[in-house]
Every structure is written in structure tokens, then in C-alpha cells.
């Protein structure tokens, strides 16, 4: 019924090849977990019904299809050549998914600055070189400064003890 999926059915029960299985005996709605082998030779374990329902194949091959190198070659050029291998064991952007939430090392193409940023954030454009694009000041800090200036403008320092101090601040904020 699902010939493309049946092609990847591993006839062996486990990696130790203890028991031979026949893909034609498997029921596509089965909750049984079996081994699968893709055309590249990657082996993984997954339930039959989930494999049929999701239609997804090999996770390793899928990771390469979702890689930074394939989807965002400009960012892949900024991938640090050595630090990611030392820290994470990941050697190339081809091995890293665009959806990865891990922090990786990058080398800025403009200034050469080395920095850490989340892979997903870099792919989405949310994270950039902190030297070339310094972070903008927070709005909260600006609000605090405005409140401080409002307080300084008030002539009577005894206003702190009044019940409606919060209201006075709100009125002067504008």
C-alpha cells in the first residue's frame, strides 16, 4: 500500500540482526516500532503508523535538506571553521539545521569579529554581529529616565509621602 515507505523497511529486527522481518507482514496502522534504512544507508527506529502518517523519512537526510548551507549560504560563509567542532562536535553548516536552537560560533564577514549566536536566530535575521550592529537601548530604560526627570521637576520632595504619587507620575508622563 505504501511502496516508497516499504522500500526503507529494515528486514532485521535490530541492528544486531537477531530476527529477520518481512515488510509485507507489517500493518501500516501498527503501533510497533521497527528499524528503517534510507537509500543513503542511515538507520533509525520509528513506529510504523507514525512513519506512514507523517510521511517523513530519514532524519539525517532531512537534516541535510534543512541545513544552513542549503537554505542560507550567506550565513554559512560566516560559520566559524574550528570553534563549533571543538565545543559541539559539529563540523560544518551542512550538518546544522536552520531550526537548530543551539548557540554556535560565527565570524563576521565585515569586521572579522567572532561571536556566539543561536543558529535559528541567525537564519531568521534576528541575530547579527554585535560589533557591526550594537544592540538598541531598551524602551524600559527610557521610561525609567522619563520618570526620573518627572520626579526631578516636582518642586516639593514631600510628594513621596502622598497617596496618589503613582497618579502624578502617570499624569506627567503624557
**Domain assignment present for 130:** no
Provide the domain limits for residue 32: 3-61
**Domain assignment present for 157:** yes
Are 25 and 71 found together in one domain?
Answer: no
Confidence band for 10, pLDDT divided at 50, 70 and 90: confident
Are 50 and 98 found together in one domain?
Answer: no
Please count the structural domains in the chain.
3
- 97-101, Cβ contacts within 8 angstroms, sequence gap of 24 or more: 97/63, 97/66, 97/67, 97/68, 98/66, 98/67, 98/68, 98/71, 98/72, 98/123, 99/66
pLDDT in tens, 101-138: 889 999 999 999 999 999 999 999 989 999 999 877 65
Dist CA 147 CA 172 (whole Å): 8
Q: State whether residue 3 is helix, strand or coil.
A: helix
Are 55 and 74 found together in one domain?
Answer: no
The partner residues of 116 in beta bridges, in order of sequence, read 105
Dist CA 160 CA 152 (whole Å): 12
Dist CA 128 CA 150 (whole Å): 36
Q: Which of 6-10, 86-90, 128-132, 147-151 has the highest mean pLDDT?
A: 128-132
Are 12 and 52 found together in one domain?
Answer: yes
Are 45 and 23 found together in one domain?
Answer: yes
Are 143 and 118 found together in one domain?
Answer: no
Pick from 16, 60, 13, 62: which is nearest to 41 by CA? 60
pLDDT in tens, 40-89: 888 888 888 888 888 778 877 776 778 888 899 999 999 998 888 876 66
Q: State whether residue 35 is helix, strand or coil.
A: strand
Dist CA 127 CA 72 (whole Å): 14
**Whole-prediction pTM value?**
0.50
Left, alpha or beta for 61 (phi > 0: left; psi -120 to 50: alpha)?
Answer: alpha
Are 79 and 52 found together in one domain?
Answer: no
Are 57 and 73 found together in one domain?
Answer: no
Dist CA 160 CA 157 (whole Å): 7
Are 164 and 119 found together in one domain?
Answer: no
Mark which of 17, 45, 61 sits at the end of a domain.
61
Are 77 and 101 found together in one domain?
Answer: yes
Cell numbers 569579529 correspond to: 113
Amino acid at each position: 500500500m505504501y511502496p516508497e515507505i516499504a522500500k526503507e523497511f529494515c528486514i532485521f529486527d535490530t541492528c544486531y540482526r537477531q530476527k529477520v522481518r518481512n515488510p509485507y507482514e507489517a500493518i501500516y496502522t501498527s503501533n510497533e516500532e521497527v528499524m528503517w534504512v534510507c537509500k543513503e544507508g542511515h538507520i533509525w527506529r520509528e513506529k510504523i503508523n507514525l512513519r506512514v502518517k507523517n510521511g517523513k523519512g530519514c532524519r539525517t537526510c532531512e537534516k541535510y535538506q534543512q541545513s544552513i548551507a542549503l537554505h542560507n549560504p550567506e550565513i554559512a560563509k560566516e560559520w566559524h571553521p574550528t570553534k563549533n567542532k571543538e565545543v559541539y562536535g559539529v563540523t560544518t553548516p551542512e550538518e546544522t539545521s536552520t531550526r537548530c536552537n543551539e548557540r554556535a560560533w560565527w565570524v563576521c564577514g565585515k569586521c572579522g569579529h567572532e561571536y556566539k549566536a543561536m543558529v535559528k536566530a541567525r537564519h531568521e535575521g534576528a541575530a547579527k554581529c554585535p560589533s557591526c550592529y550594537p544592540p538598541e537601548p531598551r524602551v524600559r530604560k527610557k521610561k525609567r529616565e522619563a520618570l526620573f526627570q518627572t520626579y526631578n521637576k516636582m518642586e516639593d520632595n514631600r510628594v513621596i509621602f502622598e497617596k496618589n504619587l503613582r497618579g502624578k507620575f502617570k499624569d506627567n508622563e503624557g
